[in-house]
Amino acid sequence: MANELIQPDKFFLTRFGLNERAFERVLDTALERRADYADIYFEWRSNESINLEDSMVNRTAKSVSQGCGVRVCAEERTGYAYTDEITVDRMRLAAQTARTIADRAAGGREPVAVGQSVARHDLYALATLPLEVPAVQKVSLLEQIDRAARAYDPRIKNVMASVMTETKVVLIAAGDGKLAADVQPLCRLNVSVIAEENGNRQMGFFGGGGRLEYDYFLAGERWREFVREAARQAVVNLEAVAAPAGEMVVVLGPGWPGILLHEAVGHGLEGDFNRKGASAFSGRIGEQVASPLCTVIDDGTLPNRRGSLNVDDEGTPTSRTVLIERGILRGYLQDRLNARLMKLPLTGNGRRESFAHMPMPRMTNTFMLAGDSAPEEIIRSVKRGIYAASFGGGQVDITSGKFVFSANEAYLIEDGQLTRPIKGATLIGNGPQVLRRVSMVGSDLKLDAGIGTCGKDGQSVPVGVGLPTIRIDAITVGGTHA
């Protein structure tokens, strides 16, 4: 089924026997006392996961969730109530609960008139939704992946692979009468392998996807790249020696190492932390926070990317926001509440994990623009340091600005050459400082393959990152070799 056939504007109306008058009744209930804003968020989500281990596709699971949440905002206060039983009675009850944060009587408000549709982007119209592709085809792909990975190298002893597909339909009806709706497909293929030699076991991983057709994995046998990368990483790590410890030059490879930007600056530029003065970047718009080589963008409008959305979860169309321009801090990422309180424009970054959560400012796809150094030249410039090609997760303490991210494929650089692979190590730095130490930016900007999931305040949302090869003159590498 193509996603336009779902007709997100009609989806909830037909499915739950609702109409726009019902939305108005609920929103009028929500806005009965003095409030700045109210909305109803409807969500229906279906997903499927198909997993292979020990050469068998033996774990399959699917889930359907649905529900709606009513939100009322008054000044800095938010009331939110949700239910997974979508009926007008339940929604009005939710509205009554949500409005308890508004304590003053409203004066002479016009009744809500719902109907005006928000213009949305069209970033992921698909002829066939990945969730609709029969499971049996995914099973056969995973079996091929298992055989290909084991054939890559006799040291590959186990293969774990999975295909995850999802369709999410959302509708946001707001107190200003605006309606926004969207169908959001998502798919992802993960391959993990274990290589073993003389009792030394190492894992390799590669994954990717996006708001894409399932055929993306099959086109030109792209899945083989996933297999090769995972297997290559595991085999490389069999040779890894202890990582060095201490401050040193670090070169980050292109693509997924962009997680640096996500942790070091992205979270610190989310509107909520800055409004509260709780971020290491608070009050620093216009200041130099990075080397002039660095321009950092958050862009929710890239077609088919995992972090992209036609509209955010408050019905605002996503946009391209310049966070840092040639080293100068330019902008924050906003949801409605924080944009209103900070008197700054909406950026389309109000996101939530599901109807069971309140929206917050979140990143979409966060990346650095390309510079003009050749990647080889950047590596050649380093006498002694490390080159990090791939990372696992990262985390940041917004207030102190300290952030970490952990390499899972890295090499020593000695006299301008990549020499030995080193064991995984965590890198730790300070957000407002680290980008000042960027002395070279490569011409090879690459976006990640589509595996990022960002966690904040207990909520997970899909995101993307991107980076050209960059040189950081000093950052602490947490190896064991002091």
Partner 1 sequence: MKSGQAPTSHTDLELAQWALERARARGASAAEVLTLTAEALSAGVRLGEVEKLKSSRERRIGLRVFTGSSSACASTAELSSDGLERFIEETIALARVTARDPWSGLPAPELHPREVPELNLEDTTHRVIGAEGALDMARRAEQAALSSDPSITNSEGAEFSSGWHRLTFVNSQGFSAAYNATSYSLVVTPIAQAGGSMQRDYWYSAARRYELLKAPEEVGLIAGRRARRRLGARKIPTRRAPIIFDSETAGSLLGAVTAAACGHALYTGASFLKDRLGTRIAAPSVDLIDDPTIVGALGSKPFDGEGAASRRKTLIAQGELKSYLLDSYSARKLGLASTGNASRGIGSPPSAAPTNLYLEPGPQSPEEIIRSVKSGLLVTEMIGFGINLVTGDYSRGAAGFWIEDGELAYPVEEITIAGNLAQMMRDVEMIGNDLEWRSSVASPTIKIAEMTIAGA
What part of residues 48-67 is at the interface with partner 1 (CB under 8 A)?
48, 53-54, 56-67
Min dist CB 360 to partner 1, Å, is 11
Of 322 and 341, which CB lies nearer to partner 1 in the complex structure? 341
Residue keyed to tokens 């592709």: 133
List the structure tokens of 109. 């408000």
Binding letters toward partner 1, positions 429-448, x by CB under 8 A: xx------------------
Name residues contacting partner 1, limited to 143-182 (CB under 8 A): 157-158, 160
Min dist CB 143 to partner 1, Å, is 9
Of 418 and 474, which CB lies nearer to partner 1 in the complex structure? 474
| Measured CA angle at 408 (ends 405, 412), to 5 deg | 100
- Contact present, 212 and 174 (Cβ < 8 Å): no
Min dist CB 303 to partner 1, Å, is 31
Name residues contacting partner 1, limited to 393-422 (CB under 8 A): 393-400, 402-406, 408
Min dist CB 407 to partner 1, Å, is 9
Of 20 and 36, which CB lies nearer to partner 1 in the complex structure? 36
Of 280 and 363, which CB lies nearer to partner 1 in the complex structure? 280
Give the H/E segment covering residue 28: helix 20-30
Look at the alpha carbons of 82, 88, 90, 95 in this order and tell me if their dihedral is positive or negative: positive
Please tell me whether residue 34 binds partner 1 under the rule CB under 8 A.
no
Of 231 and 378, which CB lies nearer to partner 1 in the complex structure? 231
Q: Which of 428, 436, 439, 459 binds partner 1 (CB under 8 A)?
A: 428
Please tell me whether residue 136 binds partner 1 under the rule CB under 8 A.
yes
What span, in angstroms and rounded, lies between the C-alpha atoms of 261 and 248?
A: 19
Write phi, then psi, for 157 (nearest 5 degrees).
-105, -25
What span, in angstroms and rounded, lies between the C-alpha atoms of 173 and 145?
A: 44
Min dist CB 369 to partner 1, Å, is 27
Min dist CB 298 to partner 1, Å, is 22
Please tell me whether residue 344 binds partner 1 under the rule CB under 8 A.
no
Please tell me whether residue 125 binds partner 1 under the rule CB under 8 A.
no
Please tell me whether residue 392 binds partner 1 under the rule CB under 8 A.
yes
Q: Which stretch binds partner 1 (CB under 8 A): 171-179, 206-214, 252-260, 392-400?
A: 392-400
Min dist CB 86 to partner 1, Å, is 9
What span, in angstroms and rounded, lies between the C-alpha atoms of 288 and 225?
A: 40
Min dist CB 397 to partner 1, Å, is 6
Min dist CB 16 to partner 1, Å, is 11
Please tell me whether residue 316 binds partner 1 under the rule CB under 8 A.
no
Between the alpha carbon of residue 113 and those of residues 27, 28, 174, 338, 458, the distances in Å are 9, 9, 10, 25, 35
Q: List, in order, residues 6 or more apart from 149 with CB less than 8 Å away.
A: 156, 159, 161, 191, 193, 227, 230, 231
Size of the site for partner 1 (CB under 8 A): 82
Residue 209's closest CA among 257, 163, 262? 163
Please tell me whether residue 425 binds partner 1 under the rule CB under 8 A.
yes
Name residues contacting partner 1, limited to 243-272 (CB under 8 A): 243, 245-247
Of 246 and 303, which CB lies nearer to partner 1 in the complex structure? 246
What span, in angstroms and rounded, lies between the C-alpha atoms of 39 and 254?
A: 40
Q: What angle, rounded to 10 degrees, do the helices at 20-30 and 88-98 form?
A: 20
| Measured CA angle at 181 (ends 179, 187), to 5 deg | 160
Name residues contacting partner 1, limited to 182-201 (CB under 8 A): 194, 196, 201
What span, in angstroms and rounded, lies between the C-alpha atoms of 277 and 323?
A: 18
Contacts 24+ apart (CB under 8 A), 103-109: 103/33, 103/74, 104/33, 104/34, 105/33, 105/34, 106/31, 106/32, 106/33, 106/34, 106/35, 107/34, 109/31
Q: Which stretch binds partner 1 (CB under 8 A): 115-123, 134-142, 284-292, 464-472?
A: 134-142
| Measured CA angle at 228 (ends 223, 230), to 5 deg | 95
Name residues contacting partner 1, limited to 280-299 (CB under 8 A): 280
What span, in angstroms and rounded, lies between the C-alpha atoms of 35 and 73?
A: 6
Question: How many other CB atoms are found less than 10 A from the CB of residue 433?
Answer: 15
Of 370 and 396, which CB lies nearer to partner 1 in the complex structure? 396
Name residues contacting partner 1, limited to 74-113 (CB under 8 A): 76-85, 90, 94, 97-98, 100-101
Tell me the Cα Rg of the chain. Answer: 24
Min dist CB 123 to partner 1, Å, is 28
